[in-house]
């Protein structure tokens, strides 16, 4: 059975999800890779350019095309999430409720507070079809296109709950 969710995610949203469930996610998500995670953790929460409470972070370095009106996401495939394990506990401690990526992460930090959504590697053009618009971009000049934080409006982004908030993981 598929579940439709809208960001920001609540505690109830994540506690009701189980590993293996299909989720269609709509709302605002934020891309973040290694450099963005380091920058986020180097700032006081009140100086972050987005509200982390209930947020969903996508481990992704998108392919972006500049347009007259702003930006268009051409491809948005996931990057390997395990590289961000060292940042995970602190990122979730900011109130982030969901992480999207590939390959899995440490299970324990998600317990009781967040979920890990898997998206298939190599399907970046499929992900781009769910991205309706780029709402904003942060740290573009400093970090460059793949490492910047892209604020994306998504609709029915197809995901699988790979690690739930109860300690269950599809990777074990």
138 counts as catalytic: no
Q: Is 139 left (phi over 0), alpha (psi -120 to 50) or beta?
A: left
Q: Which residue in the list 37, 59, 138, 166 is annotated as catalytic?
A: 37
Q: How far apart are CA 97 and CA 62, in angstroms?
A: 21
What are the Cα distances from residue 102, in Å, to 59, 83, 133, 170?
Answer: 8, 11, 23, 12
Q: How far apart are CA 14 and CA 148, in angstroms?
A: 26
- Active centre residues (catalytic): 37
């Amino acid at each position: 059975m598929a579940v439709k969710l809208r960001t920001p995610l609540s505690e109830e949203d994540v506690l009701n999800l189980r590993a293996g469930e299909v989720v269609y996610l709509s709302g605002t998500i934020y891309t973040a890779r290694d450099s963005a995670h380091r920058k986020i953790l180097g700032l006081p929460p009140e100086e972050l350019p987005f509200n982390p409470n209930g947020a969903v972070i996508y481990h992704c370095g998108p392919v972006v095309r500049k347009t007259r009106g702003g930006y268009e996401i051409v491809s948005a495939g996931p990057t390997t999430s395990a590289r961000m394990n060292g940042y995970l506990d602190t990122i979730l401690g900011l109130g982030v409720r969901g992480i999207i990526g590939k390959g899995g992460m440490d299970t324990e930090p998600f317990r009781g507070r967040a979920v890990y959504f898997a998206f298939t590697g190599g399907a970046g053009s499929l992900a781009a079809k769910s991205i309706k618009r780029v709402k904003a971009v942060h740290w573009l000049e400093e970090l460059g296109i793949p490492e910047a934080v892209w604020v994306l409006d998504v609709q029915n982004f197809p995901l699988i709950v790979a690690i739930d908030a109860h300690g269950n993981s599809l990777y074990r």
